[in-house]
Amino acid sequence: MRSTARITAATVVAGALALGLSACGSSHSGTSSKNDGKAAQDASGPLVVAASPTPHAQILDYVRDHLAKSVGLDLQVKEFSDYVLPNTATEQGQVGANFFQHKPYLDDFNKKNGTHLVAVADVELEPLGLYSHKITALSGLKDGADVAVPNDTTNEARALDLLAANGLITLKAHTEQTATPADITSNSRHLHFKELEAAQLPRSLDDVDAAVINGNYAIEGGLNPAKDALVIEKAQGNPYANILVVKQGQENDPRVQKLVKLLDSPQVGQYIKDTFKGAVIPASGTPAA
């Protein structure tokens, strides 16, 4: 999931996928029936997982085609083109799980919609990185340098937290997910911040000393996150890791537990590395609080 302003459904979709009112392909978006709910909770039936097409459904397709049969898991992948219907379908029992979002988005969705969805595992992260056309190492960032950051709330906070984690600035306590330049308490290199739309950041590299760019936009701008980023977000324990989600009470469904183990496998980790070239990185484990 690409993080976007205020982590609302409309703006999140605008940052990553075209907003759709129906599921892709053969997926349906109507109100679930009681039979749908029972089927989703039937541990002897297939596990249907709602996912956005890239990279989430791609990863699940790999698991279905190469790994699921070895553990007796009948995995079905249902693609959705928006960031609301996968959660409502999971809540209503239309699907057994979903994979498209990070924990801050899930928490916000539950709060606003009265849903009862829980994260069961981290899977992958679409990391922010610091890039430059002018320097080749973080130590080369000069005093008074211009640094571009995303101008939306969530990504700007992530960008500033990345800079803080690498010793360039210090932020007020407990502002990691809401930070703006106003929350900077120490800026020893006197960095100047330029707030730009996330999609414009790769094109800004000739005009600034460095820029913090999302993995997907870095790839689109001809950058290789694994090789070109001066520093990059860590995956483990990152609250913005994309997660596998179920309705509360379904965490111990044996099908879900089989899928969690497969998503945490070396094969899936290698598939993510080989396929997405650093724009998506493995982030298996327990979701951050």
CATH value of 128-232 in 3.30.70.100, 3.90.110.10, 3.40.190.10, 3.30.70.80: 3.40.190.10
Please determine, for residue 18, whether its predicted confidence score (pLDDT) is greater than 80. no
CA torsion angle 182 185 188 189 (round to 10):
-20
Please determine, for residue 12, whether its predicted confidence score (pLDDT) is greater than 50. no
Summarised one tens digit per residue, pLDDT across range 193-224 is 999 999 899 999 999 999 999 887 887 788 98
Rg (CA), the chain: 20
Q: How confident is the model at residue 120 (pLDDT cuts 50, 70, 90)?
A: very high
The answer to whether domain 5-126+237-285 and domain 128-232 are alike in fold is yes
| Distance separating alpha carbons of residues 39 and 61, to the nearest angstrom | 21
Tokens of 51: 């996912």
Question: Residue 110: its pLDDT value, please?
Answer: 95
Summarised one tens digit per residue, pLDDT across range 53-97 is 989 999 999 999 999 999 999 999 999 988 899 999 999 999 999
| Distance separating alpha carbons of residues 40 and 94, to the nearest angstrom | 6
Question: Residue 37: its pLDDT value, please?
Answer: 61
| Distance separating alpha carbons of residues 166 and 170, to the nearest angstrom | 10
Summarised one tens digit per residue, pLDDT across range 248-265 is 999 999 999 999 999 999
| Distance separating alpha carbons of residues 160 and 259, to the nearest angstrom | 34
Q: Are 92 and 247 in contact (CB under 8 A)?
A: no
- Where do the domains of the chain lie? 5-126+237-285, 128-232
- pLDDT (mean) for 234-255: 92
Q: DSSP code of 280?
A: S
Tokens of 196: 């730009």
Closest to 99 measured CA to CA, from 75, 115, 116, 122:
122
Q: How confident is the model at residue 7 (pLDDT cuts 50, 70, 90)?
A: very low
Q: Are 252 and 157 in contact (CB under 8 A)?
A: no
Question: Residue 235: its pLDDT value, please?
Answer: 79
Classified as helix, coil or strand, 117 is strand
Superfamily of domain 5-126+237-285, CATH level 4: Periplasmic binding protein-like II (3.40.190.10)
Question: Residue 36: its pLDDT value, please?
Answer: 57
